[in-house]
A and B are shown apart, each in its own frame.
Chain A
């Protein structure tokens, strides 16, 4: 059974940092593109970043460029999102998800990040 489990969310002050993790199981992690998607309270879904199977290509949305970094450890079946210089508008539930071509076919349950003083 495919499972994605996020962790690392919490309350952080503006300007602070957090590292989100996503533990994958039930599939060959190294065979898939992976993504992070977020949903701010009362808002729609927003694609944050994605990464190729071997980590050689990474892309992110303009609003997080220079602040967030997506990475992966295929040996540990894990996906990461390093978030620096956090802002109030980064407050959201963050999901990791697996790609099925252009779609995301499996999602974690999400981890809440709250940026507030």
Chain B
């Protein structure tokens, strides 16, 4: 299974909004509303930020939002904060194997 494609890095200034894209195919993102986003600080367990395209788990800030159009999903972080600086991964169910595939990962830098 090929990984979903994310930009290697995205940056923004404190208070700004940034968007991370996640591009898949008609076999994964394009077919299912089963896209999730994770925040991952190296050496720690990943944290679920968004599931099923645009749902936030309890306790996740409403500064994080998700969307999808065609084969591409997006994570938007509003009101960027220094603590948001880390790695982010998307994932999607894939029809070929009925398992999940992660994105390539995006490093967010707060300038």
Contact = CB atoms under 8 A, between A and B. Distances in A.
14 contacts: A44-B89, A45-B40, A45-B89, A45-B105, A59-B97, A95-B45, A101-B34, A102-B92, A102-B100, A103-B36, A103-B52, A105-B57, A107-B47, A110-B45
Contacts of A21: none
B93 to A, nearest CB: 6
B97 A44 contact: no
B69 interface: no
B10 to A, nearest CB: 15
Interface string B68-85: 000000000000000000
Contacts of B100: 35, 47, 50, 102
B102 A103 contact: no
Contacts of A50: 99-100
Interface residues of B, number: 30
A43 to B, nearest CB: 9
Q: Which of B50, B51, B105 has the most CB of A within 10 A?
A: B51
Given A45-B38, A107-B45, A107-B46, A102 B51 contact: yes
Interface in B1-60: 1, 3, 32, 34-36, 38, 40, 45-48, 50-52, 55, 57
**Chain A interface: which size bin?**
20 to 34
A11 interface: no
A39 to B, nearest CB: 8
Interface in A78-117: 95, 100-105, 107-110
A46 B45 contact: no
The 4 closest A-B pairs by CB, nearest first: A103-B51, A102-B34, A107-B45, A103-B36
A1 interface: no
B99 A44 contact: no
B104 interface: yes
